[in-house]
Amino acid sequence: MKILVGYKRVVDYNVRIQVKPDGSGVVSDGVKLSPNPFDEIALEEALRLREKGVASEVVVVGIGPTDLQAHLRNGLAMGANRAIHVATSDAVQPLTAARVLLKLVQKEQPGLVILGKQAIDDDCNQTGQMLAALWDRPQATFASKVEIGEDKARVTREVDAGLETLEVDLPAVITTDLRLNEPRFIKLPDIMKAKSKPIEILELASLGVEPGDHLKTLHYAPPPGRSKGVMVKDVAELVAALKSKGLV
Amino acid sequence: MNTILIVAEHHAGQLNPATARCVSCARKIGGEITVAVLADAPAAIAAQAATLDGVGRVVAVADTAHTQALAAMYAPQIAVLARGFTHVLAPSTTFGKDLLPRVAALLGVAQVSDLMQVEGPRRFVRPIYAGNALVTVEVPQEQTVVATVRTASWPEAAAGAQAAPVETRSVDAALPKHTRFVTLQSAKSERPDLQSAGRVVSGGRALGSSENFRIIYQLADKLGAAVGASRAAVDAGYVPSDMQVGQTGKIIAPALYVAVGISGAIQHLTGIKDAGTIVAINKDAEAPIFEVADYGLVGDLFKLVPELTQALG
């Protein structure tokens, strides 16, 4: 079985985001970029399934500008067999990403697509569900455990009420939650090995997917701050303060 | 005129309060509000939805395929029900997040996640980068607005004396057989629900063990509070994942939030920004949680928390 993994590059989770003074976006110059943490978990899961003999090939997919290839090399160094770079200089919203992935799914015929449940830049949490809808296949979102059987998967999902388990027929789309696994670290020899792994480049425009944004982005702003409060010296002072505000 | 369809979330025959929060958001958008209840036995849930202020009509769809709220089952039906509506809303809970993108894709439109503010019928503010930036987006005129509502940003619509009419209908949509519910493992708790509680006490990694969380539960019980946790505490296995508060867990807005032994990573802070009053107890005076806390107390949580529980007696 082949597994397709979405592998997005985002601003590193440790970066303190600054909105540009003119509200046209967030500051991205010189900011550290990293793989989306949920996508690393997706790739790790795919690699483990390959190591167990469930999957035979793991393909990472990235959508973005020319310099995305260094990022895809990273996924290859982690262990993916090959990469597909869908090249575009436009920002890509979830529906476009899902349409691109659908084209790749039709071409590659994977048994499983594993995506992160959300990207930590736009926090949309949509692409996997949209792909599943367009592909007319099952979705198992927010996965914390994945077991692959004969032609089906049993997936445990982190939902508000607890842990829900679904059984889905394959092929299917799975999106990862935080506790599915802990991604491996990349070792130096693997970085060397990755240099000879293939990256296929496809122009987004050549896929027959309508480019461009669906939602118009008008303005960025910093969130309203909370004013700094007071330090109390002991429990008695805290209780008195809460009582005076009628909170206890 | 806007016509707004809200997909009701419910569990065990009860309407989830997140639905009433969507109604508040829909009232801000303005227009006729219809609530769709898909369930195996929707009557009681539909009756609850009908009493919410602002709801003009409830559509109840009864089908045993709805015994569990599976996105693969719901989505094709919501896509049919959505015909003639300008807006389709659902709460930004795991239910709504799972479902609405699937609906949007079936309708061939974008989805807006986590509506925080309404600036116009098609213009909304939503958080990005774990709430560290807000973006204003606009949905094109020709598209149905499909959006999840960030529940912490909206109050629950009150239940009034007037009940809206409930219409029972069936939906002609092909339902897939490829997705089957197996189990739901849910911790039984007598405590208030984390997402709707007025008071929440959360513990972090500093608690050190599942056993030590006992002092968090004791304080919560004294306050009548729900219990939450930081990602670190969940990852360490001290508490189940449904207790996680933050960017990828639950976003909450209680009147009182007590953070114990939580340093305050931005991913956690985004989940509590809308709390009325934040209290932080931490041994590290430099912890970022104190930047957002209304009241900070530095010291040993194993001494201070029992002392606080005692003092509230």
User: pLDDT tens, B68-115?
Assistant: 999 999 999 999 999 999 999 999 999 999 999 999 999 999 999 999
Residues B90, B36: Cα–Cα separation, whole Å: 10
B312 and A248: CB-CB below 8 Å? yes
Tokens of B207: 């608690």
Whole-angstrom distance, CA of residue A57 vs CA of residue A41: 17
- Token readout for A128 is 């996997």
A211: pLDDT strictly greater than 80: no
Contact state of A158 with B242 under an 8 Å Cβ cutoff: yes
Q: How is residue A49 written in tokens?
A: 């399934």
Place of tokens 């009557």: B43
Largest CA distance in chain B: 62
Task: Check residue B40 and give its pLDDT.
Answer: 95
Distance of CA B84 to the CA centre of its chain: 27
Phi (first) and psi of residue A28, to 5 degrees = -120, -10
Q: What CA–CA distance (Å, rounded) separates A166 from B300?
A: 43
How close B280 gets to chain A, by Cα (Å)?
Answer: 9
Beta-bridge mates of residue B49: none
The answer on pLDDT for A49 being more than 90 is: yes
| Strands B57-62, B166-168: pairing kind | parallel
Kindly give the parts of chain B with pLDDT less than 70. none
Residue B170 in contact with residue B64, Cβ under 8 Å?
no
Mean pLDDT of A135-163: 97
Mutual angle of helices A127-135 and B94-107, in 10-degree steps: 50
∠ CA B236-B242-B244 to the nearest 5 degrees?
Answer: 55
Strand-strand pairing, B226-229 and B199-203: parallel
Show the tokens assigned to A134.
């367009």
Indicate yes or no: CB of B101 within 8 angstroms of CB of A234. Answer: no
* A143-167 CB burial, b ≥16 within 10 A, e <16: bbbbebeeebbbbbbbbbbbbbbbb
Identify each DSSP E strand in chain A by its residue range.
Answer: 2-6, 9-11, 33-35, 57-64, 82-87, 112-116, 139-148, 152-159, 162-169, 172-176, 199-203, 216-221, 230-231
Binned at pLDDT 50, 70 and 90, residue A226 comes out as confident
| A172-176, strands of its sheet edge to edge | A199-203, A82-87, A57-64, A2-6, A112-116, A172-176, A139-148, A152-159, A162-169, B179-185
Query: Considering chain A, what percentage of its residues have pLDDT values greater than 90?
Result: 94
Q: What is the per-residue pLDDT for A214? A: 86
Its ipTM equals 0.96
Asked whether A199 and A7 are in contact (CB, 8 A), the reply is no
Closest CB from B128, B178, B273 relative to A138: B178
pLDDT value of residue B190: 86
Distance, in Å, from the CA atom of B95 to the CA atom of B242, rounded to the nearest integer, reads: 13
Q: Which residues of B touch A239 (CB under 8 A)?
A: 308, 311-312
Residues 6 or more apart in contact with residue B189 via CB below 8 angstroms: none
Write out the E strands in B106-173: 111-115, 117-120, 123-128, 133-138, 145-149, 166-168
Q: How far apart are CA B88 and CA B25, in angstroms?
A: 12
Average pLDDT estimate for A213-227: 90
Give whole-number Cα distances, B23 to A8, A14, A52, in Å: 35, 36, 48
From residue B232, alpha-carbon distances to B205, B268, B275, B304 in Å are 5, 10, 21, 21
Predicted confidence (pLDDT) at residue A213 exceeds the cutoff of 70: no
- Check CB contact under 8 Å for B104 and A238: no
Query: How many CA atoms lie within 13 Å of B83's alpha carbon, on the beta-carbon side?
Result: 7
Task: Choose from B16, B128, B234, B256 for mutation: most chain A CBs within 10 A.
Answer: B128
Instruction: Give CA torsion, residues B28, B246, A115, A102, to 10 deg.
Output: 10
Q: Which of B211, B220, B228 is nearest to B272 (CA)?
A: B228
User: What gap in Å lies between CA B81 and CA A38, rounded to an integer?
Assistant: 33
Q: Which residue among A136, A163, A222 sits closest to B133, beta carbon to beta carbon?
A: A222
Among the partner-chain residues A17, A122, A219, the one whose CB lies closest to the CB of B136 is A219
Do the Cβ atoms of B237 and B207 come closer than 8 Å?
no
d(CA A104, CA B38): 34
Predicted confidence at residue B187, as pLDDT, reads 80
* B30, amino acid identity: G
Candidate from A166, A226, A247 with C-beta closest to B180: A166
pLDDT of residue B188: 77
CB-CB neighbours of A192 under 10 Å: 10
Give the whole-angstrom CA distance, residue A214 versus residue A96: 8
Name the minimum distance, in Å, from the CA of A196 to any CA of chain B. Answer: 34
How far from each other are the two terminal CA atoms of chain B, in whole angstroms?
54
Tens of pLDDT, residues A112-133: 999 999 999 999 999 999 999 9
pLDDT value, residue B135: 98
